[in-house]
Amino acid sequence: MVQIRTRFAPSPTGFLHIGGLRTALYSYAIAKHSNGDFILRVEDTDQKRIVEGATLALQNILKRFGLVWDEFYIQSERQKKGFYKRAADKLVQQGHAFYCQCKPKNAKEEGFSKQLRDSCRNKKFTSGAVKIKVPDNVAVSYFDFVHQKEILWNTNDVYDATLLKSDGFPTYHLAVVVDDLDMKITHILRGHDWLPSTPIHLLIFSYLSNRRPEIGHATDILSGETGKKLSKRRDSVFVEEFLKEGYLPEALLNFVMLLGWAPKDNREIFSLEEFVEAFDIKGFQDANPKFFIEKLDWMNGEYIRKSKVSNLKSQIFDFFEGGYDKDLIGKTLPLVKERIKKLSEFESLAGFFFERPKVDLKLFSGDYKKHLKVALGVLQGLNSFDLESLNRKLMDSIKGNKFKTGDFFMALRIAITGSRFTPPINESILVLGRDEVVKRIKKVLK
């Protein structure tokens, strides 16, 4: 049996795209489900777009999601060793490629072209860029393992793509084929946006080798707002942005795995290990999913609620870069854990534990001072400062004074926290301590 080998091959432009994370996850799962190898390959062949430190950042972020690779390659280093030049030479010798000395065009400015056959293809140049000499009227096809169907082109619709640039670096088309062959990749999984250039790769594969990896194109993730491919300008597209908003890596990974893949039993919560175990290539979707943040919010809340206090404590401490005392975070967490959907929300919900709040008197209603005076008396007269006694004495005084329970606690809540929406107030009082609570109530009564 052949060892399964997959790869994730991003270009290091700074941040990891959410779709990239998903592609990496699926590739990882295909390999690991069968105890295969997962390879990370950095495609940095565009000298104009090199970003300092991007490769390291990419590696770090993948590790945070547990997507660990077995082998690592950098294309620019392979370029120095001449792998791509040799492949290009071979293609020219075979008559499947030719040198071209035309001025490079920029499609963004010039629009799409109708000219598929390059004017240099019969000029017999011996230097310049190398382009593929696409044959006329030949059918090329492959079986897509995502869509589970044959996809077919006529080469009359395929253009003479550049393989080697005049700076000696390969384009994606050449590099991807050479590397996937050299690295003995068995399954290529990539985004749907690559589907249209697949016939070029199919031709190169057939010229360079008698074997070809399986190929599959995962759906594009569409924006929930626009229904179009996620765009950097309008949408949050980078993994780093989501982490910064307070989403947990495990939740984000879980959410993204279900955009374009589903198990037969409709299960929704998967750890990475569970996903690898459950992964089935038949579970891929054909239609492009829209990215709706609501479900991610729910899922993130699920993960936060499931988290151990000790783990969550460190995550929140790190998230706020040490801005809050770690032990105190730990004490408040049992009270706030099931009330937040993102780490970032810890601040607005639990901030009053760390800093005396500004209390807006407009929040109060009714005869709140009377309520507070009674509460103050109870607190100060309490012999044993524990939840049971506190609760009992407060309830007794409510009954004794014929207060409305809700009104009483609301007054207390606002005085202590500055908000109408808070964790349970008696438990919060215990965390804050009697002295602090007494001071806060007195301050309002002044």
Partner RNA sequence: GGCCCCAUCGUCUAACGGCUCAGGACAUCAGGUUCUCAUCCUGAAAAUCCGGGUUCGAAUCCCAGUGGGGUCACCA
Residues 71-110 interacting with RNA (rule: CB under 7 A): 100-108, 110
What is the Cα–Cα distance from 123 to 100, expressed in whole angstroms? 8
Asked if 66 contacts 225 with a C-beta cutoff of 8 angstroms, the reply is no
Among 33, 64, 290, 331, binds RNA (CB under 7 A): 290
Least distance to RNA, CB of residue 196, Å: 4
Lookup result for tokens 């500055």: 418
Q: Is 232 annotated as a binding residue?
A: yes
First to last CA, the chain: 81
> How is residue 208 written in tokens?
């360079």
SS (H, E, C) 13-28: CCCCEHHHHHHHHHHH
Residue 189's DSSP bridge partners are: 216
The closest of 138, 128, 141, 134 to 95, measured between CA atoms, is 134
- Applying CB under 7 A, the site for RNA has a residue count of 91
Interaction with RNA in 398-427: which residues (CB under 7 A)?
405-406, 409-410, 413, 420-427
**Tokens coding 282:** 């038949």
Determine which residue in the list 55, 73, 76, 128 makes contact with RNA, applying CB under 7 A. 128
Task: Give the footprint of RNA on residues 343-402 (CB under 7 A).
Answer: 391
Q: How far is the CB of 27 from RNA (least distance, A)?
A: 15
Q: Which one of 51, 66, 236, 283 is in contact with RNA (CB under 7 A)?
A: 283
**C-beta closer to RNA: residue 212 or 290:** 290
Q: By CB under 7 A, what part of segment 2-21 binds RNA?
A: 9-11
When the beta carbons of 1 and 287 are compared against RNA, the nearer one is 287
Interacting residue with RNA among 59, 209, 285, 315 (CB under 7 A): 285
User: Does the footprint of RNA cover residue 137 (CB under 7 A)?
Assistant: no
| 157 lines the binding site for RNA (CB under 7 A) | yes
Q: Exactly one of 64, 85, 121, 147 binds RNA (CB under 7 A); which one?
A: 147
DSSP 73: E
DSSP-assigned letter for residue 418:
S
Report the run of H or E that residue 141 belongs to, with start and end: strand 139-144
Nearest to 29 by CA among 349, 261, 309: 261
Q: How far is the CB of 321 from RNA (least distance, A)?
A: 25
Answer for which of 89, 225, 240, 297 binds RNA (CB under 7 A) is: 297
Q: Does 56 bind RNA (CB under 7 A)?
A: no
**Which range in 24-32, 81-89, 187-195, 308-316 contacts RNA by CB under 7 A?**
187-195
In the complex, least distance from residue 8 CB atom to RNA, rounded to whole angstroms:
11
Nearer to RNA, 59 or 166 (CB): 166
Q: Interaction with RNA in 310-339: which residues (CB under 7 A)?
A: 338-339
Cβ proximity to RNA: between 9 and 208 the closer is: 9
Both tokens of 412, joined, read 């207390």
Is 254:269 a contact under the CB 8 Å cutoff?
A: yes
Q: What is the sign of the dihedral through the CA atoms of 378, 380, 386 and 389? A: negative
Decide whether 149 or 326 has the Cβ nearer to RNA.
149
Residue 392 CB, nearest approach to RNA (Å): 12
> What is the C-alpha to C-alpha distance for residues 60 and 40, in angstroms, rounded to an integer?
12
From CA 47, how far away is CA 11, in angstroms rounded?
A: 11
| Cβ closest to RNA, residue 53 vs residue 322 | 53
Kindly indicate which of the ranges 82-90, 222-230, 236-244, 325-333 contains the residues binding RNA, using the contact rule CB under 7 A.
222-230
Among candidates 84, 89, 70, which has minimal Cα distance to 4? Answer: 70
Helix (H/G/I), strand (E/B), else coil: 170: strand
Rule CB under 7 A: which of 249-278 touch RNA?
258-262, 264, 266, 268
Contact assessment for residue 237 and residue 14, using Cβ atoms and an 8 Å cutoff? no
Burial degree of 336 (CB within 10 A; 0-12, 13-18, 19+): buried
- Extract the annotated binding site: 232
